[in-house]
Structure 1
Amino acid sequence: MGKSARTKARDTTATTGEVGPRQPCPCGSGRRFKACHGAKGGAPDVFVSRPFEGLPSECDIIAMRELVPAASAPLKLKDSDRSVTLCSLLPVAAPAMVRDSGEIWLGLQVQHMYGDPSRDLAAVLLAALDAEPGIVGLTSAPGEGPRLQDLVEGDTLDITVHEGFNFWLADVEDTSAMASALDEANAAANPTVRLTSVEAAYWTSIGSKEHLRWVMPEPENELLDALARLHVAGKDDIAPGSRFVGMFRAHGLLAPVWDLPVGTGAEVLEEPAKRFADDLAAALADGSELTAAERSARSGLANRQVTIR
């Protein structure tokens, strides 16, 4: 995505003229703007650039939606004691499933894109609360209504990263009918581990490469300043042989990415990640003007941003 498109993607809404008609729509649908939110009578919903702000563990929710193949976390509802579990991905990318036990599973990685994932999640959740066991989804934009922030409470989520998707069948007695689909899903899931020393940082192995991807909550401009300071100070390595390669932008936040030597694994990253977090906090608190070298580094970092969706 070019610099102009990245700037526009930070806006709260997307309307005709703000994004070039042939550029990707900021809603993340994968379609060009002219065929999505820029189309007359097309996608009518307002695009929200930071839809998960205010939810518990916002950064982890973004990671579960964009980076992590198999993870889950219980949600606590404000006005119900119904058991609800937020999942990265459900079978057939279902928006929600009501289990035979009555428990509701809510999926983050789904096919529909209506501009505000939080409102979509809330609409699916409300439908699931009144549904019989089975798959629950959306067939059209949810329209006006609450967002997930209005329905859940708590400060943090208890994230569990699964080795595969066997948790889908945790309460199913006869799994033979789904064995083939489960094997296929497990084969496509890259090994992923959530670090425990810091929030929302995930090690993953993708074929012949390993990465650390870390969703950070700080405002973009302040975070870029701080990362530039660390780069000039030689403090942006996360482990021996690692390389800071750039950042994803996802749902209004930045996710720095490091390439790691093959064989690094997750465990050895815990202490360096904590040290980096401490250095980053100090850099964020530094209110002085950037030096010429730091300004140059910041410009380079800004040019290494890409959008996941």
Structure 2
Amino acid sequence: MGKSKRNTPKPGGNRAQRLADRQAEREQGGVAAARPFQGLAAECDLVALREFVPSATAPLPVAEGSRAVVLATVLPGAVAGLARVQDGTDTGYVGIQTQHESANPSRDLAAAIGWAQNSALGDSLATAEADASTPELSAVIDAGVPLEITVHADFNWWIPAGVQPDPQVAATVERANAAIMPSARLSGLDAAWWVDAGERAHLRWVRPEPEDALMLALARLHAGGFLSLGEGSRFAGSFRTHGLLVPVFDLDRERHPDEWIDPATEFGKRLAEAAASDVPLSSAERRSRDGLRSRQITLR
């Protein structure tokens, strides 16, 4: 079902290192958050940007500080932060897909934001030094403000306008551009992302509902034959990540992403109606629920 691969380049990053980082945090008293971005208006998009969106940026509504801070899916070298002049303005960048990460990405981002607001221009932050005393993200940004996301077709934004990169940097950007999977956020829908994975395209829709409630709604639709976006689509399964479910649909990649907005909108309405039902599941719906659970993949 087009499993997420955090498909942007993370030089030197690997699963063993991430597990080691998280174990070290636990030994230092850190606590893993089951739903780290809960309470933020941008929760679902933050999960998408962290897990499967290749190249995107969004200004962050920081609560304090005079320097603008921009969230990026990934920064050069998969660092946690960097500071530079962008379009004539001192700007701090923080990455949500990083080479080293703790068990709580909310605190990682909060730590990186604090660094980005006070660092010297030209500096970069390899790892956000978050610990149990670091505030949650909701304490350093306006929790009620959604993100204004810009999706990029490549990583050319890594190089500031008017700067001539050295050959090594240019080669890094070229390699990153060659690996990118085209992506688009479906207009008018919260955290519904179209991704071209090669042989097929996918809709990956990060949903805000509690996992159990959403699974019941999906089961009702599946049993009734309505778990689809119509012709050219097929329900593939779902991701479980950061306390949320992400239903995934295989799509006809020959169709433009915008062609899926209306079908996805209609599906969203059906899903909301199914979620509002308090009628006990029928035997067919229970079978559907069990089958759908077997098609989940947990991202760690």
C-alpha displacement of 1:33: 11
TM-superposition CA deviations, 1:181-234 (whole Å, max 9, x none): 111111111011110131111111112121111100000010001011111122
1:36-55 to 2 correspondences below 5 Å: 42=27, 44-55=29-40
Identity among equivalent positions (%) equals 40
RCO (CA 8 Å, sep 6+): is it higher in 1 or 2? 2
Aligned: 1:159 with 2:149: yes
Q: Any unmatched runs of 5+ in structure 2? A: 1-13
- Which residue number corresponds to residue 131 of structure 1? 119
- Which residue number corresponds to residue 82 of structure 2? 97
Distance 1:88 1:184, change over 3 A: same
Distance 1:249 1:228, change over 3 A: same
1:105-144 to 2 correspondences below 5 Å: 105-133=93-121, 134-138=123-127, 141-144=130-133
- Which residue number corresponds to residue 18 of structure 1? none
Aligned: 1:180 with 2:168: no
Q: CA RMSD in A?
A: 2.3
Does the Cα contact within 8 Å between 1:197 and 1:273 map onto a contact in 2?
no
Does the Cα contact within 8 Å between 1:36 and 1:43 map onto a contact in 2?
no
Q: 2:257 aligns with which of 250, 260, 266?
A: 266
Given residue 79 of structure 1, which amino acid in structure 2 is its aligned partner? E
1:195-214 to 2 correspondences below 5 Å: 195-214=186-205
Does the Cα contact within 8 Å between 2:47 and 2:206 map onto a contact in 1?
yes
TM-score of the superposed pair, with normalisation by structure 2: 0.87
Q: 1:68 aligns with which of 53, 60, 72?
A: 53
- Which residue number corresponds to residue 228 of structure 2? 237
**Structure-2 separation of matches of 1:74 and 1:33:** 27
**Structure-2 separation of matches of 1:88 and 1:51:** 17
Distance 1:240 1:67, change over 3 A: same
**Structure-1 separation of matches of 2:91 and 2:179:** 26
Aligned: 1:290 with 2:281: yes
Does the Cα contact within 8 Å between 1:37 and 1:43 map onto a contact in 2?
no
C-alpha displacement of 1:80: 2.6
Does the Cα contact within 8 Å between 1:124 and 1:137 map onto a contact in 2?
no
